[in-house]
């Protein structure tokens, strides 16, 4: 006897338990949304079991009961949690979550009260000194993406069976969903899941409504949020106590006025958090730049050079000695891109900050910008700055230029950047992972084939894949004193070359335009 | 004649009073006056190791000190039972208390000043101390500025004057407005004030340090914005250890204190290592220095924020001017706030108290 194909082929459909912890009664809007969901579930794609726990019990008890019921289900592959105050979830949302094939993945829900936090959080970096379990809400999440998070709610959450089984074996039924005065049962679940080695994701394209007087979803949250909750702002206490650098400030320099160079170095060294300061001397010929020990690292030959001047009086005027704490790397002239790439290669921290050798940081620039970066979960950031005029004794205070407050999509971001390079190099901070991810085939991050627009090109390259976050306050000073912009404006030959570079750059990154109206497509 | 003085202090004023005591002892020893003045310090509530340098440290003596995180944090002390100290207190010519910090009404700025009248002389000491204080003919209330005492300074002044105290202070603002005798801490020679900021070279950018404990009360935001807009390097530290703060001062050409009309110990420390003092000083404070025989204040004239902006711009544009101010400030503070000079001022003050 031979089996029919139907009986011999193993049923490969996922088997999902829909688990609904619920109070004494089931809200009607939830029932309607659930009905919509069930009607959209294609039986040929997924097999479902439904478990509802209605009663006057705590949510923890309801979850424990439902977990045990689900795991008793034969062939179960997934547990899908749906809280009874969730509504308006798209019909295909469960299938979409299943298709991600992730251990734990949820839809995007929002807290019901202002500031309507997206219920997903990231652990705060250790350098903030907030303790190992401190987390922050991820307000600036990328749209329509699958994002790895450290914590999320269980209101609309898909968990693979083996995950739950592993956790049950380790913590027991009560332990898996245990809550405390400082940790809700779902955040506790996420922490324990991570302890077991599982990753947690949220699909920010699966919007789930949260029922209150109105239905709170992403659109409602954005429209009505009056502030962002910032209870987890770090103060970098640990880094300050231990003196551990939290960022690397790279200062490329070539024949800069010594006073400006020293000011830049002092402003980097005087940060309110410990930073590493790397001065890359790109072949300065007007004078010799030395570190506090009287030497420098020769990049081209890979050796430390200690300079001994025989005739101190004669050479003193030609030497600029930098304060303790600044490393000096010296190389043959390779242009700004080459100097920056050298500095990046020498970085010992994860955050890159560029400071032009004639610009200044405010003392709290790195601390404030890093806090914003950590909070928004962005990895690329820039800020506003003050401009000071030529050093003619004019002390007029200049206001910072107005930059776009926020770009709503990557496309808009790229368009804005293409129209105007509003990101000044001395305001940028980038995470090492972005630099590694977006580096050029030659291994460098800044493109040395551009003489003046290497920064613009790099920002556009980053904008293809990452969001640029703006820290909306002036955290630095840019001198308009005989700098590059001034020289391009006054030298026709340079202006011509610069225009040529600009055209090349637009060719490289331009978006198609509508032939009729000229707008970006 | 021998003058015996007992100083009862707690928290911040302890440090200043310990410096006073040591200055007087040093001066007396150097001038053969060691029998002429006997000054001792008792600490009610302390929180730093340096407070152990007091002659009597309340809760250490009674064994009730708690040590938290390596620093001694003392409980509220009510039992000064060291018999030697009590004997000294009974016989001392003068008892000096340091009001405000640590006292109940000072901890709660919202408490109406009227409640002062209901409070015993020095609530942090027990009944025995209250009895001794009430019975003393010569008493000094020494004010070491704080925001809470500043808010109620008129009420404090009235309360202590009515109770027979002579008022003295460590800060210029109380000295001019309370008014009270000006008894600042000595600055020179002190090991922690050693070292010197470099004189600004012609190709040096202007570096200005600013180290407020409370940035919201020290025009910090305005100062940082001005530096940013003038291209001046600001060295800013808040709530950092003392040695770190002094290092920042030693690496600067100027020091900005605040715009509250007088200067704090921060300005003196800055000048001691050779920084140009940038501080909002009222004309009354400047005049006070002159009438006290201390000469002209060696910093730019600043009262308002725009004065500060002008001073910063002026210094930034002139390395030579910066150097001149640096030299003048260094010289002035080491002359006017020298330990011997402060000791003489203190001895003269205590003699004046006895002569009342």
pLDDT, tens only, A437-449: 999 999 999 999 9
* Mean pLDDT, all residues of chain A: 85
C-alpha distance from A409 to closest chain B C-alpha (Å) = 32
In order, the DSSP letters of A60-123 are HHHHHHHHHHHHTSTT--EEEEE-TTEE---TTHHHHHHHT--SEEEEE-B-SSTT--BSEEEE
Rounded CA-CA distance A14/A101 in Å is 11
Q: Which of A317, A360, A366, A481 to mutate to test the interface with B (most CBs of B within 10 A)?
A: A360
Distance of CA B249 to the CA centre of its chain: 18
Is A323 in the B-facing interface, judged by CB distances under 8 Å?
yes
Spatial CB neighbours of A183, under 8 Å, sequence gap ≥ 6: A133, A191
User: A301-319, pLDDT tens digit by residue?
Assistant: 999 999 887 666 655 558 9
Is B305 in the A-facing interface, judged by CB distances under 8 Å?
no
CA dihedral of residues B95, B99, B101, B102 (deg, nearest 10): 70
Residue B313 Cα distances to A10, A81, A326, A396, A403, angstroms: 82, 64, 27, 10, 28
Residue B257: exposure state from Cβ atoms within 10 A (0-12, 13-18, ≥19): buried
Partner residue opposite B231 with nearest CB, options A270, A363, A477: A477
Q: Which of B205, B235, B315 to mutate to test the interface with A (most CBs of A within 10 A)?
A: B205
Neighbours of A458 (CB within 10 A): 26
Residue B33 structure tokens:
């006056």
C-alpha distance from A310 to closest chain B C-alpha (Å) = 22
Helices first, then strands: H and E counts in chain A? 17, 25
Spatial CB neighbours of A332, under 8 Å, sequence gap ≥ 6: A283, A300
Spatial CB neighbours of A322, under 8 Å, sequence gap ≥ 6: A261, A262, A265, A279, A289, A290, A291, A292, A328
C-beta atoms of A258 and B203 within 8 A? yes
Q: Which of A276, A328, A278, A329 is nearest to A301 (CA)?
A: A329
Contact A245, A275 (CB under 8 A): yes
Neighbours of B310 (CB within 10 A): 16
| Residue ranges of chain B with per-residue pLDDT less than 70 | 1, 44-52, 58-81, 100-130, 146-148
pLDDT of residue B19: 92
First to last CA, chain A: 63
Rounded CA-CA distance B248/A270 in Å is 8
Q: Which of A324, A297, A294, A321 is nearest to A309 (CA)?
A: A294
- A243-267 burial, b if ≥16 CB within 10 A, otherwise e? ebbbbbbbbbbbebbbbbbbbbbbb
Q: Is residue A456 classed as helix, strand or coil in its secondary structure?
A: helix
Is 0.85 exceeded by the ipTM? no
Q: Which of A170, A222, A220, A173 is nearest to A192 (CA)?
A: A170
C-alpha distance from B224 to closest chain A C-alpha (Å) = 7
Q: Which of B348-351's residues contact partners 24+ apart within 8 Å by CB, and which partners?
A: B349/B168, B349/B181, B349/B183, B350/B3, B350/B5, B350/B37, B350/B93, B350/B94, B351/B3
Question: Which residues of chain B lie closer than 8 angstroms to A255, CB-CB?
Answer: none
CA dihedral of residues B338, B340, B343, B349 (deg, nearest 10): -90
Q: Which of A240, A275, A395, A398 to mutate to test the interface with B (most CBs of B within 10 A)?
A: A395
C-beta atoms of A360 and B236 within 8 A? no
Using only C-alpha atoms, chain A has a radius of gyration, in whole angstroms, of 28
Distance of CA B49 to the CA centre of its chain: 18
**Out of A223-227, A361-365, B52-56, B267-271, which region has the weakest mean confidence (pLDDT)?**
B52-56
C-beta atoms of A272 and B309 within 8 A? no
Spatial CB neighbours of B107, under 8 Å, sequence gap ≥ 6: B148
Rounded CA-CA distance A264/A254 in Å is 13
Rounded CA-CA distance B89/B83 in Å is 10
Question: Which residues of chain B lie closer than 8 angstroms to A262, CB-CB?
Answer: 203-205
pLDDT of residue A322: 95
Rounded CA-CA distance B322/B180 in Å is 34
Q: How confident is the model at residue A404 (pLDDT cuts 50, 70, 90)?
A: low
pLDDT of residue A274: 93
Angle among Cα B284, B287, B288 to the nearest 5 degrees reads 85
Spatial CB neighbours of A466, under 8 Å, sequence gap ≥ 6: A378, A379, A380, A434, A438
Residue A33 Cα distances to A27, A45, A86, A88, angstroms: 10, 20, 8, 6
Contact A429, A369 (CB under 8 A): yes
Contact A339, A282 (CB under 8 A): yes
pLDDT of residue B5: 95
Q: Which of A488-495's residues contact partners 24+ apart within 8 Å by CB, and which partners?
A: A488/A452
Contact A75, A152 (CB under 8 A): no
Partner residue opposite A388 with nearest CB, options B203, B224, B229: B229
Is B234 in the A-facing interface, judged by CB distances under 8 Å?
yes
pLDDT of residue A261: 96
Is B313 in the A-facing interface, judged by CB distances under 8 Å?
yes
Residue A333 backbone phi and psi in degrees, to 5: -60, 120
Tell whether the model's pLDDT for residue A168 goes beyond 50: yes
C-alpha distance from B206 to closest chain A C-alpha (Å) = 8
Tell whether the model's pLDDT for residue A520 goes beyond 80: no
Question: Which residues of chain B lie closer than 8 angstroms to A240, CB-CB?
Answer: 240
Is A262 in the B-facing interface, judged by CB distances under 8 Å?
yes
Question: Looking at chain B, which residue has its C-alpha nearest residue A260?
Answer: B205
C-beta atoms of B203 and A363 within 8 A? no
User: A230-275, pLDDT tens digit by residue?
Assistant: 545 567 877 888 888 999 999 999 999 999 999 999 999 999 999 9
Q: Which residue has the tokens 């001397």?
A: A281
C-beta atoms of A362 and B237 within 8 A? no
Q: Which of A197, A203, A175 is nearest to A188 (CA)?
A: A175
Contact A236, A273 (CB under 8 A): yes
Is A424 in the B-facing interface, judged by CB distances under 8 Å?
no
What is the interface size between A and B, counted as CB pairs within 8 Å? Answer: 67
Global confidence as pTM: 0.73
Is B309 in the A-facing interface, judged by CB distances under 8 Å?
yes
Rounded CA-CA distance A161/A158 in Å is 10
Is A267 in the B-facing interface, judged by CB distances under 8 Å?
yes
Question: Which residues of chain B lie closer than 8 angstroms to A426, CB-CB?
Answer: none
Contact B55, B41 (CB under 8 A): yes
Partner residue opposite A272 with nearest CB, options B230, B236, B313: B236
Residue A60 structure tokens:
């923890």
Q: Which of A220, A208, A178 is nearest to A195 (CA)?
A: A178
Q: Which of A8, A20, A159 is nearest to A77 (CA)?
A: A159
Partner residue opposite B231 with nearest CB, options A240, A263, A393: A263
**Out of A137-151, A183-197, A405-419, which region has the weakest mean confidence (pLDDT)?**
A405-419
- A208-234 burial, b if ≥16 CB within 10 A, otherwise e? bbbbeeebbbbebbeeeeeeeeeebeb
Partner residue opposite A395 with nearest CB, options B225, B230, B237: B230
Contact B165, B139 (CB under 8 A): yes
Is A180 in the B-facing interface, judged by CB distances under 8 Å?
no
What is the average per-residue pLDDT within A356-366? 95
User: A9-25, pLDDT tens digit by residue?
Assistant: 457 889 999 999 988 88
Rounded CA-CA distance A353/A129 in Å is 21
Partner residue opposite A272 with nearest CB, options B225, B228, B237: B237
pLDDT of residue A198: 97
pLDDT of residue A330: 97
Q: How many CA atoms lie within 13 A of A283 on its CB side?
A: 9
Q: Residue A36: left (phi > 0), alpha (psi -120 to 50), or beta?
A: alpha
Rounded CA-CA distance B174/B141 in Å is 12
**Element (DSSP H or E) covering residue A477:** strand A468-479
Contact B47, B71 (CB under 8 A): yes
C-beta atoms of A259 and B204 within 8 A? yes
Q: What is the DSSP letter of B206?
A: P
Rounded CA-CA distance A350/A245 in Å is 10
Q: What is the DSSP letter of A24?
A: S
Rounded CA-CA distance A415/A412 in Å is 5
User: A145-156, pLDDT tens digit by residue?
Assistant: 899 999 999 999
Pairing assessment for the beta strands A326-330 and A295-298 based on DSSP bridges: parallel
Rounded CA-CA distance B345/A268 in Å is 44
Q: Which of A479, A486, A488, A487 is nearest to A357 (CA)?
A: A479
pLDDT of residue B282: 94
pLDDT of residue A336: 94
C-beta atoms of A393 and B248 within 8 A? no
Q: Which of B316, B249, B73 is nearest to A360 (CA)?
A: B316
**Out of A1-5, A85-89, A184-188, which region has the weakest mean confidence (pLDDT)?**
A1-5
Q: Which of B202, B168, B153, B177 is nearest to B322 (CA)?
A: B202
Question: Which residues of chain B lie closer than 8 angstroms to A323, CB-CB?
Answer: 251
Is A157 in the B-facing interface, judged by CB distances under 8 Å?
no
Residue A398 structure tokens:
């200049």
Residue B118 Cα distances to A245, A401, B77, angstroms: 53, 58, 20
């Amino acid at each position: 006897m031979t089996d029919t194909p139907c009986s011999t082929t193993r049923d490969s459909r996922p088997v999902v338990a829909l688990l609904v912890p619920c109070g004494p009664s089931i809200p009607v809007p939830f029932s309607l949304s659930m009905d919509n969901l069930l009607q959209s579930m294609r039986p040929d794609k997924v097999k479902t079991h439904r478990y509802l726990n209605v009663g006057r019990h705590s949510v923890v008890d309801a979850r424990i009961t439902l977990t045990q019921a689900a795991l008793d289900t034969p062939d179960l592959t997934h547990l899908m949690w749906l809280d009874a105050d969730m509504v308006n979830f798209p019909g295909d949302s469960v299938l979409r979550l299943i298709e991600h094939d992730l251990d734990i993945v949820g839809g995007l829900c929002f807290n019901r009260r202002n500031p309507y936090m997206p219920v997903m959080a990231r652990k705060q970096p250790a350098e903030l000194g907030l303790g190992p379990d401190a987390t922050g809400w991820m307000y600036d999440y990328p749209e329509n993406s699958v994002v790895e998070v450290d914590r999320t709610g269980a209101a609309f959450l898909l968990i693979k069976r083996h995950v739950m089984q592993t956790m049950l074996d380790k913590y027991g039924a009560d332990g898996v969903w245990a809550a405390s005065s400082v940790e809700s049962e779902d955040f506790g679940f996420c922490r324990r899941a991570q302890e077991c080695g599982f990753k947690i994701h949220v699909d920010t394209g699966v919007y789930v409504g949260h029922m209150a007087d109105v239905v709170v979803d992403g659109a409602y949250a954005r429209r009505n949020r009056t502030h962002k909750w910032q209870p987890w702002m770090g103060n970098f206490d640990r880094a300050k106590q231990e003196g551990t650098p939290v960022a690397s400030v790279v200062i490329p320099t070539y024949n800069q006025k010594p006073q400006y160079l020293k000011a830049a170095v002092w402003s980097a060294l005087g940060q309110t958090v410990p930073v590493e300061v790397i001065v890359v001397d790109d072949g300065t010929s007007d004078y010799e730049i030395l570190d506090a020990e009287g030497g420098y690292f020769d990049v081209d030959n890979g050796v430390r050079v200690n300079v001994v001047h025989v005739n101190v009086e004669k050479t003193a005027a030609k030497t600029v000695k930098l304060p303790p704490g600044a490393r000096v790397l010296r190389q043959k002239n390779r242009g700004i891109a080459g100097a920056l790439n050298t500095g990046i290669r020498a970085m010992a921290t994860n955050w890159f900050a560029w400071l032009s050798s004639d610009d200044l940081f405010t003392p709290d620039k790195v601390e404030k910008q890093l806090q914003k970066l950590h909070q928004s979960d962005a990895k690329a950031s820039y800020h506003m700055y003050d401009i000071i005029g030529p050093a003619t004794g004019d002390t007029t205070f200049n206001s910072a230029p107005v930059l776009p407050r926020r770009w709503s999509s990557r496309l808009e971001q790229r368009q804005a950047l293409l129209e105007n390079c509003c990101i000044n190099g001395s305001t940028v901070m980038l995470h090492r992972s972005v630099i590694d991810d977006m580096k050029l085939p030659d291994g460098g991050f800044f493109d040395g084939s551009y003489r003046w627009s290497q920064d613009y090109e790099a920002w556009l390259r980053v904008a293809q894949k990452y969001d640029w976050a703006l820290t909306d306050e002036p955290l630095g000073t840019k001198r308009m004193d005989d700098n590059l912009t001034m020289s391009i404006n006054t030298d026709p030959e340079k202006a011509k070359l610069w225009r040529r570079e600009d055209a090349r750059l637009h060719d490289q990154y331009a978006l198609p335009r509508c032939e009729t109206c000229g707008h970006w497509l | 004649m021998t003058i015996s003085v007992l100083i009862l202090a707690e928290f911040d004023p302890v440090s200043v009073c310990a410096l006073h005591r040591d200055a007087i002892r040093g001066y007396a020893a150097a001038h053969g006056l060691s029998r002429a003045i006997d000054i001792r310090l008792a600490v009610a509530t302390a929180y730093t190791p340096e407070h152990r340098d007091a002659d009597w440290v309340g809760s250490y003596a009674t064994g009730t000190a708690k040590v938290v995180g390596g620093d001694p944090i003392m409980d509220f002390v009510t039992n000064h039972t060291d018999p030697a100290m009590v004997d000294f207190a009974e016989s001392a010519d003068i008892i000096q208390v340091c009001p405000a910090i640590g006292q109940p009404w000072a901890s709660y700025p919202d408490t109406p000043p009227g409640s002062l009248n209901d409070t015993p002389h020095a609530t942090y000491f027990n009944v025995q101390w209250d009895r001794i204080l009430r019975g003393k003919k010569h008493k000094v209330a020494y004010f070491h500025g704080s925001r809470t005492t500043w808010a109620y300074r008129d009420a404090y002044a009235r309360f202590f004057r009515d109770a027979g105290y002579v008022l003295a202070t460590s800060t210029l603002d109380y000295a001019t407005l309370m008014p009270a005798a000006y008894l600042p801490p000595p600055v020179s020679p002190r090991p922690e004030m050693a070292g010197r900021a470099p004189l600004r070279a012609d190709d040096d950018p202007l570096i200005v340090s600013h180290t407020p404990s409370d940035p919201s009360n020290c025009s910090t935001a305005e100062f940082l914005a001005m530096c940013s807009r003038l291209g001046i390097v600001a060295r800013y530290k808040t709530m950092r250890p003392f040695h770190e703060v002094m290092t920042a001062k030693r690496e600067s050409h100027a020091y900005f204190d605040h715009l509250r009309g007088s200067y704090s110990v921060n300005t003196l420390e800055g000048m001691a290592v050779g920084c140009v003092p940038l501080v909002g000083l009222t004309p009354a404070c400047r005049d006070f220095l002159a009438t006290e025989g201390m000469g002209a204040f060696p910093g730019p004239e600043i009262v308002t924020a725009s004065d500060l902006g002008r001073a910063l711009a002026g210094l930034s544009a002139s390395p030579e001017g910066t150097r001149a101010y640096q030299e003048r400030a260094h010289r002035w503070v080491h002359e006017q706030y020298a330990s011997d000079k402060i000791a003489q001022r203190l001895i003269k003050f205590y003699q004046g108290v006895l002569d009342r």
